[in-house]
Structure 1
Amino acid sequence: MDRKEFLSAIGLSAASLAVITCIGCSKKGDSTSTSGTTGPTGVDFTLDLTTSANSALNANGGYLSSNGVLVARTTAGAYIAVQLSCTHENYPLVYQGSAGHFYCNNHGSAFTEAGVVLNSPANRNLTTYHTALTGTSLRVYA
């Protein structure tokens, strides 16, 4: 193999590697993609508040995530539920009970307890869900 053939073969290999790498970078399955930044549909599940997995909801200001939904108990004791992911880039939210809002640690977007955008970069409200407490069972539904 002469020098020209060698350089040509290396160039072809590098180009192939670049194409394969770019295909792997596709945002199709990326959890931070801006597509799919709405909450799940058809939500209808029940949380047993007596189990340790759901104990965070027994305290005002506590929260947990389940089925793509963030369920929280406000400092006033009401149960609220919104989509788990930020409408900006699909990162998981946290509930800051003392501040009374949902917050995205990634880019700093914040939302009211009613799911309304407080500050950017998010520009769409959160999907909200209904809650109904019966005894120690909390139903979350669309």
Structure 2
Amino acid sequence: MDRKEFLSSMGLGAASLAVMSCFGCGKGSNATNSSTSAPTGVDFTLDLTASANAALTSNGGYLISHGILVARTSSGAYIAVQESCTHENYPLVYQGGSKRFYCNNHGATFTEKGAVTGGPTSRSLAVYNTTLAGTSLRIYS
């Protein structure tokens, strides 16, 4: 294979990959329809002294566990919501400085109480209860 054939085949491969990625984003895709539901029957505890949960020791930190995004607000309260956007199931991030949850994929935003404040979705996030007992944080439905 010469240089021209190689570059031509690489370009075709990249174009195919780009097209397939776009089809995956479509509102009619099966992944979209099956994955926007929030976890149910949630009941687990996080040990805040464990290194895996270190993000929750400082205000504004967050982590994902059991399909739930658990965050510590700027005031030190613990909050928990479903980990994925209600638009197309993309992972959310917690932006403590802005006091909101944000979807990097389509720009949806939600309050710390899960209410929609912007973006292509109209469905609020599922919110879970949190209870702190010593260094154990319980997250439950």
TM over 0.5: yes
Give the Cα separation in 2 of the matches to 1:35 and 1:123: 17
- Residue 72 (structure 2) aligns with: 73
- Residue 50 (structure 1) aligns with: 49
The question of whether the paired residues in 2 share the 8 Å contact of 1:101 and 1:112 is answered with yes
- Residue 119 (structure 2) aligns with: 120
Once the two structures are superposed, residues 30-64 of structure 1 have per-residue CA deviations (whole angstroms, 9 ceiling, x without a partner) of: 3xx13331210000000000010000000000000
Letter in 2 for 1:120: G
The question of whether the paired residues in 2 share the 8 Å contact of 1:94 and 1:104 is answered with yes
Give the Cα separation in 2 of the matches to 1:90 and 1:110: 13
Give the Cα separation in 1 of the matches to 2:58 and 2:52: 13
Aligned residues: 115
How far residue 73 of structure 1 moved from its aligned partner, in angstroms, is 0.2
- Residue 139 (structure 1) aligns with: 138
Please identify, of 104-113 and 33-42, the stretch whose mean Cα deviation from structure 2 is larger.
33-42
Asked whether 1:90 is paired with 2:85, we answer no
Percent identical across equivalent pairs? 64
What are structure 1's unaligned runs of at least 5 residues?
1-24
How far residue 27 of structure 1 moved from its aligned partner, in angstroms, is 4.2
Relative to the length of structure 2, the TM-score reads: 0.78
Give the Cα separation in 2 of the matches to 1:82 and 1:49: 18
Give the Cα separation in 2 of the matches to 1:103 and 1:109: 6
Letter in 1 for 2:81: V
Letter in 2 for 1:58: T
Of structures 1 and 2, the larger Rg is shown by 1
The question of whether the paired residues in 2 share the 8 Å contact of 1:38 and 1:126 is answered with no
3-state SS in 1 of match to 2:55: helix
Superposition misfits of 4+ residues, deviation over 3 angstroms: 25-28
What are structure 2's unaligned runs of at least 5 residues?
1-23
